[in-house]
């Protein structure tokens, strides 16, 4: 495994210390979350009783593989905790998410959780958001005009592809990856984007995070907030 993978594993596994018997857990998405799900599976084998709501098809597959029991929002509307990765974390704990295309369900899950814990390797900690292109999920109908109005806000937009095909999210939508340069005011940009008809959700997560755990090559530790 690379040093970055070691760091993801350490952060993912450390987050499981926040999980207690009887909890309902929002399960995020991505390669760091993989290690968290694997560890929860081990704890379940040892008798931990929890239920998770997955934020993506991939996460659901991993939960099934590792024996993590699942539930859904028809049965539980509030989650005790949500644990998820991120593509960038700034010193105020604002996030860019959605590199894997799961941002809408991830945000619904984070918003439903009493506590939202973010797990990243140290490479995701940045002084200012925006080097990573901001994923914005948009409706397929009229995506060209929606992308054009996003561009009018100052963002260079690229429709996400998988090979030669358009990437389609678990919700049946498209994603445009937007370069805004450094993002000084994430909340304002998020609000401006959300106001555009055709925009479903943005990958900017502001004022949502309760704790950040960063993984390094040989340890994981909490990140303090500025």
Ligand X SMILES: O=C[C@H](O)[C@H](O)[C@H](O)COP(=O)(O)O
User: Binding residue for ligand X (CB under 6 A) from 26, 52, 54, 98?
Assistant: 98
201 near ligand X, rule: CB under 6 A: no
Select from 24, 29, 202, 206 the one that contacts ligand X (CB under 6 A). Answer: 29
Of 29-37, 72-80, 150-158, 210-218, the window that binds ligand X (rule: CB under 6 A) is 29-37
125-to-128, 134, 142, 186 alpha-carbon distances in Å = 9, 15, 35, 16
Closest residue to ligand X in the complex (CB) = 30
In what helix (H) or strand (E) does residue 62 lie, and over which residues does it extend?
helix 57-66
Please tell me whether residue 101 binds ligand X under the rule CB under 6 A: yes
Residue 53 per-residue DSSP state:
E
Within 10 A of 20 (CB to CB), how many other CB atoms are there?
11
- For residue 226, give the DSSP letter: -
Instruction: Take residue 52 and report the two structure tokens written for it.
Output: 């998770």
Residue closer to ligand X by CB (options 134, 196) is 134
Question: How many chain residues are in contact with ligand X, going by CB under 6 A?
Answer: 17
Instruction: Tell me, rounded to whole angstroms, the distance of Cα 138 from its chain centroid.
Output: 17
CB 68 within 8 A of CB 27: yes
The phi, psi pair for 85, rounded to 5°, reads -85, -175
* Least gap, CB of 105 to ligand X (angstroms): 9
Could you tell me which residues come within 8 angstroms of residue 219 by beta carbon, excluding any fewer than 6 positions away? 10
Known catalytic residue at 17: no
CA–CA distance, 132 with 110 (Å, rounded to integer): 21
Q: Which two tokens stand for residue 132?
A: 């990573």
Q: Which is nearer to ligand X, 55 or 157 (CB)?
A: 55
Q: Measured from the CB atom, is 26 or 100 closer to ligand X?
A: 100
Q: Residues annotated as binding site for substrate?
A: 29-32, 84-87, 97-100, 124
Q: Which of 13, 88, 106, 201 is catalytic?
A: 106
106 binds ligand X (CB under 6 A): yes
Q: Select the span of 19-27, 79-87, 172-180, 191-199 touching ligand X (CB under 6 A).
A: 79-87
Nearer to ligand X, 26 or 99 (CB): 99
Instruction: Select the residue interacting with ligand X from 81, 89, 102, 175 (CB under 6 A).
Output: 102
Q: How far is the CB of 22 from ligand X (least distance, A)?
A: 25
Go through 115-134 and write b for each residue having 16 or more CB atoms within 10 A of its CB, e for each that does not. bbbbbbbbebebeebbebbb
Catalytic residue ranges: 106
Give me the residues that bind ligand X (CB under 6 A), please: 28-32, 84-87, 97-103, 106
């Amino acid at each position: 495994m690379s040093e970055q993978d070691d760091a993801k594993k350490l952060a993912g596994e450390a987050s499981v210390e926040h999980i207690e018997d009887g909890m309902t857990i929002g399960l995020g998405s991505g390669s760091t979350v993989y290690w968290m799900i694997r560890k929860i599976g081990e704890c379940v084998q040892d008798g931990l009783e929890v239920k998770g709501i997955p934020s993506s098809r991939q996460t659901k597959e991993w939960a099934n593989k590792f024996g993590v029991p699942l539930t859904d929002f028809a049965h539980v509307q509030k989650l005790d905790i949500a644990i998820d990765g991120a593509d960038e974390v700034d010193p105020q704990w604002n996030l860019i998410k959605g590199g894997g295309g799961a941002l809408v369900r991830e945000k619904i899950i984070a918003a439903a959780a009493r506590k939202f814990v973010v797990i990243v390797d140290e490479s995701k900690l940045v002084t200012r958001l925006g080097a990573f292109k901001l994923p914005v999920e948009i409706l397929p109908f009229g995506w060209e005009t929606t992308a054009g109005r996003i561009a009018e806000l100052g963002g260079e937009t690229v429709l996400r592809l998988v090979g030669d095909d358009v990437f389609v999210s678990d919700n049946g939508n498209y994603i445009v990856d937007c370069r805004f340069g450094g993002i000084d005011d994430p909340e304002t940009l998020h609000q401006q984007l959300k106001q555009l008809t055709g925009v479903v959700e943005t990958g900017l997560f502001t004022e949502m995070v309760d704790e950040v755990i960063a993984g390094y090559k040989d340890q994981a530790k909490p990140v303090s907030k500025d």
